[in-house]
Structure 1
Amino acid sequence: MVGVLSNRVDRVAVAAGDHIYSWRAAYLYAHHGIYIGEAMVIHFTRATGHEIGTGTFLDRFLFSSSPAKEEGSPCQKCGHLIKHEGVIMSCLDCFLDGGNLYLFDYAVSPAFFLAKARGGTCTIAASDPADVVIHRAKYLLNNGFGMYSLFKNNCEDFAIYCKTGLLVETAFSVGRSGQLASLTAAFSAVASSPLRFLTTSAGGLAIVTSGMYCVGRYVSDIGVRRDVIKVPVERLVEHWAQDVSPAPQECHGHDDGGGGCGPELPS
């Protein structure tokens, strides 16, 4: 288990099947992937060089670790492997893109989880064995992980699914991403109108807000929420392959926020 203060690790400490990540844009967000050994990583990205697809000005300056650079020569180790979008495989250097290496922690205690005040670094859920994790990652590399969506189906969602096999089945919920869950919890804590009735002091307001933030993060974690099911990767991909893409008004799966469907859970 990594430390409470930092999940940063050396390369020699990472093993095949680990969920790793690297912070981007001055720690504004992180890009996640599955380390499969021999300094190679499988990860999920929206498009060449881009990590998000919000349709807003954010798309202009938030980028992923996709190593398919538009400028310069391709990486000699992994450049020939790179796809433009979706589930891709790249070397660890290209995944990190000059950033530091961090290890996502699994099966942490509730106290440890809440001590890590920022989401997207750990979960209470337990990881499956490394060989199962690598099998899922490689299978999705060859078959895809659906349409990328920042709020429903992002790189952290991909890595958490590979590690646990769990998918969220509630249609109007965010995905498994701890980063998005923490942002949602923070917004809810600040924006909730009942806060002003719970305390009249600045210190009390801070305590109440912090408490609501912690509760929001905790109940959104994949390890404690009840709207999740375990789905074998083969059945998930088979379901996608058989599903005919519906028109936007006919989408019965998870709205990806961009006019399409995220992964619809197989029955």
Structure 2
Amino acid sequence: MGVFSNKIAREDLKPGDHIYSWRTAYIYAHHGIYVGDGMVIHFTRAAGQEIGTGTILDRIIFSCSPSNVGASCEICGDQSMKQGVISSCVDCFLAGGDLYIFHYSVSPIFFIAKARGGTCTLAASDPTSDALHRAKYLLNNGFGMYSLFKNNCEDFAIYCKTGLLLVTSFSVGRSGQLTSLAAAVSAVAASPLRFMTMSAGGLTMVAGGMYCIGRYVSDIGVRRDVVKIPVERLVAESTPHEPETAPPAQANH
């Protein structure tokens, strides 16, 4: 497990691994669960169905969509319009990018050393059989509506590995990438206001410290607003139920 790179060779992959690939010039990564036999289950948004924001976020949202628009993979076929939880071969999942593995149960020192969010967590992963069961169950039943900030591909993979979900509605999801971004914004916004008299070096150190603290307290392995929910319950609670209808009235004769 390296501090500087989580890159892994394909031949070293094991079923149940949480893997990812950087997209859009290393701005954002797409995550999934390797299930064996060269296949990955991941949560995606259909290409061509992204919600435009007019900002760089459009490129991030698009990066989590199937990339083979108009192409047909010999294994996967044309997945360009598929959305939700899908199964793809490793090549289609990577979309030309490199392969990385997400680490669990890392030490606080290692976590802070990995300054880029979305690469590891202090949370422990469940047994491989549990991760595979959740991924395959959600492949058949869905993981809700894709949301960059609340319910994205990294959130999906972390849930498959840990079974943990947030219980507070106002928080960003389990995604380390988004909590890392939130920590960076908070550090940059707060530092100049509170420490205007400090030197540039001191300001950098303070901002860096605030960023690291923000990432640490937002990690799913540290937060107190998470609960473990069985995948069957998750799907049952997210599935709308048909309203009960009263039996037709009997005609009076």
Aligned to 2:95: 97
Verify: 1:141 aligned to 2:136, yes or no: no
Identify if the C-alpha distance between structure 1 residues 70 and 113 changes in structure 2 by more than 3 Å, giving closer, same or farther.
same
Equivalent runs, 1:107-186 vs 2, <5 Å:
107-186=105-184
Separation of aligned partners in 2, 1:243 and 1:199: 59
Aligned-partner SS, 2:32: strand
**Preserved contact between residue 189 and residue 212 of structure 1 (Cα < 8 Å):** yes
Separation of aligned partners in 1, 2:235 and 2:51: 23
CA shift for structure 1 position 240: 1.1
Identify if the C-alpha distance between structure 1 residues 169 and 155 changes in structure 2 by more than 3 Å, giving closer, same or farther.
same
| Deviation string, structure 1 residues 149-200 (Cα, Å, up to 9, x no partner) | 0000000000000000000111100000000010000000010167533851
**Aligned positions, number:** 241
| Deviation string, structure 1 residues 25-79 (Cα, Å, up to 9, x no partner) | 11011000000001100000121267x646334365443364463323x101122
| Deviation string, structure 1 residues 70-100 (Cα, Å, up to 9, x no partner) | 323x101122778611001000000001110
Equivalent runs, 1:151-230 vs 2, <5 Å:
151-192=149-190, 195-197=193-195, 200-230=198-228
**Preserved contact between residue 68 and residue 84 of structure 1 (Cα < 8 Å):** no
Separation of aligned partners in 1, 2:77 and 2:100: 23
Whichever residue aligns with residue 35 of structure 2, its letter is I
Whichever residue aligns with residue 189 of structure 2, its letter is A
Separation of aligned partners in 2, 1:236 and 1:48: 26
CA shift for structure 1 position 210: 0.5
Separation of aligned partners in 2, 1:186 and 1:49: 30
Whichever of the two has the greater Rg, that structure is 2
Gapped regions of structure 2 (runs ≥ 5):
243-253
CA shift for structure 1 position 202: 1.0
Q: TM-score, structure 1 length as denominator?
A: 0.84
Q: TM-score, structure 2 length as denominator?
A: 0.89
Identify if the C-alpha distance between structure 1 residues 61 and 171 changes in structure 2 by more than 3 Å, giving closer, same or farther.
closer
Identify if the C-alpha distance between structure 1 residues 42 and 30 changes in structure 2 by more than 3 Å, giving closer, same or farther.
same
Aligned to 1:46: 45
Separation of aligned partners in 1, 2:214 and 2:108: 13
**Preserved contact between residue 67 and residue 90 of structure 1 (Cα < 8 Å):** no
Whichever residue aligns with residue 56 of structure 1, its letter is G
Identify if the C-alpha distance between structure 1 residues 53 and 231 changes in structure 2 by more than 3 Å, giving closer, same or farther.
farther
The equivalent position to 1:58 in structure 2, one of 56, 59, 66, is 56
Identify if the C-alpha distance between structure 1 residues 195 and 81 changes in structure 2 by more than 3 Å, giving closer, same or farther.
closer
Verify: 1:33 aligned to 2:32, yes or no: yes
**Preserved contact between residue 24 and residue 31 of structure 1 (Cα < 8 Å):** yes
Identify if the C-alpha distance between structure 1 residues 103 and 208 changes in structure 2 by more than 3 Å, giving closer, same or farther.
same
Whichever residue aligns with residue 180 of structure 1, its letter is L
Separation of aligned partners in 2, 1:53 and 1:225: 30
Separation of aligned partners in 1, 2:67 and 2:191: 46
Aligned-partner SS, 1:192: helix
Verify: 1:239 aligned to 2:244, yes or no: no
Aligned-partner SS, 2:43: strand
Aligned to 1:18: 17
